Amino acid sequence: MPLAAKPLAAKPFAAKAFQPVVAAAQFFAAGGRALVQTVLPPICLACKKPAGASGGLCSKCWQSAGFIERPYCERLGTPFSYDSGGPLISPAAFADPPVFDRARSAMRFSDVARDLVHLLKYGDRLDLVKPFANWMTRAGDELLGEADALVPVPLHWTRLFQRRFNQSAELARAIAKQKKIAAIDDALARVRATPPQVGLAREERAKNVHGAFAIEKNFRSKVKGKRIVLVDDVLTTGATANACARVLRRAGAAKVDVLTLARVVDQV
């Protein structure tokens, strides 16, 4: 019987049934990799060339990764090419204010970031979660300092079943551990499977995720009055982040900030 058969499709939270299998697979994958890492010298996470003592990126990948530093738009987190002094809000944030309060990302969605995200999502490279979380913790320091809880952007259960883990939930959990903040993994659910956002224009992206998210009834009280940081791997137009922020706000969240590993930055 195909996986999308009706009885299962009617239960968006059925993903929980697969969690023991997912956890076991992750445990063995992580264990094997840890063993290899203790024997071999550090290699670049992106290109596998020697990475020096840090075990992160080699100097070439580090430079092309495009880590985001101030000055950036205080609302959208998009970097500015020059520093005019003082806090700045970009024209884009004025023209089309996001539903979320503030967004921060560790790096631009460069070729290196694309490769890294791809390795995590499709290459089962769960060893990347920790270094990504380190970069994100640094980029989101201000947001995390004020946060009550982290909420990952959920996958639809059919996709979670295919991929075995939700990369955003893994990142949220690692950041939560580092910063000693609660991570509410199942607060949001993707109640409608949406086609990938890749290749869609801004308006189409917003339409694609409209009504795709819901908050689980039991989690409303955990979100109400709380300052939430929504965690995802990549921020593109902000359509997904806005859709999630809308649901969290409706449930009474006091604040919704967004923290991602990478973000698409239009060339200025």
In the chain, what's the furthest Cα-to-Cα distance?
61
Total residues binding Zn ion (CB under 5 A)? 5
* Closest C-alpha among 27, 13, 258 to residue 158: 13
For residue 9, the minimal CB distance to Zn ion (Å) is 42
Cis peptide bond N-terminal to 20, omega within 30: no
For residue 112, the minimal CB distance to Zn ion (Å) is 8
Alpha helices in 107-261 (DSSP H): 111-122, 129-139, 141-145, 157-163, 167-179, 202-209, 220-223, 239-250
Does the footprint of Zn ion cover residue 244 (CB under 5 A)? no
Point out which span in 27-35, 61-69, 120-128, 196-204 binds Zn ion (CB under 5 A): 61-69
Does the footprint of Zn ion cover residue 58 (CB under 5 A)? yes
Site for Zn ion (CB under 5 A): which residue of 8, 14, 22, 47? 47
Question: Exposed e or buried b for every residue in 215-236, given b needs 16+ CB within 10 A?
Answer: bbeebeebbeebbbbbbbbbbb
Residue 58 is which amino acid? C
Q: Is the Cβ of residue 42 or residue 71 nearer to Zn ion in the bound state?
A: 42
Does the footprint of Zn ion cover residue 65 (CB under 5 A)? no
> Secondary structure of the chain: what % helix, strand, coil (to 5)?
45, 15, 40
Q: Is the Cβ of residue 25 or residue 47 nearer to Zn ion in the bound state?
A: 47
Site for Zn ion (CB under 5 A): which residue of 12, 15, 46, 147? 46
Site for Zn ion (CB under 5 A): which residue of 12, 15, 61, 75? 61
Point out which span in 5-13, 45-53, 92-100, 149-157 binds Zn ion (CB under 5 A): 45-53
Q: Is the Cβ of residue 58 or residue 259 nearer to Zn ion in the bound state?
A: 58
Rounded CA gap, 163 and 216, in Å?
A: 22
Q: Is the Cβ of residue 19 or residue 63 nearer to Zn ion in the bound state?
A: 63
Q: Is the Cβ of residue 44 or residue 133 nearer to Zn ion in the bound state?
A: 44
Q: Are 72 and 257 in contact (CB under 8 A)?
A: no
Rounded CA gap, 93 and 13, in Å?
A: 35
Does the footprint of Zn ion cover residue 259 (CB under 5 A)? no
Does the footprint of Zn ion cover residue 44 (CB under 5 A)? yes
Residues that bind Zn ion (CB under 5 A): 44, 46-47, 58, 61
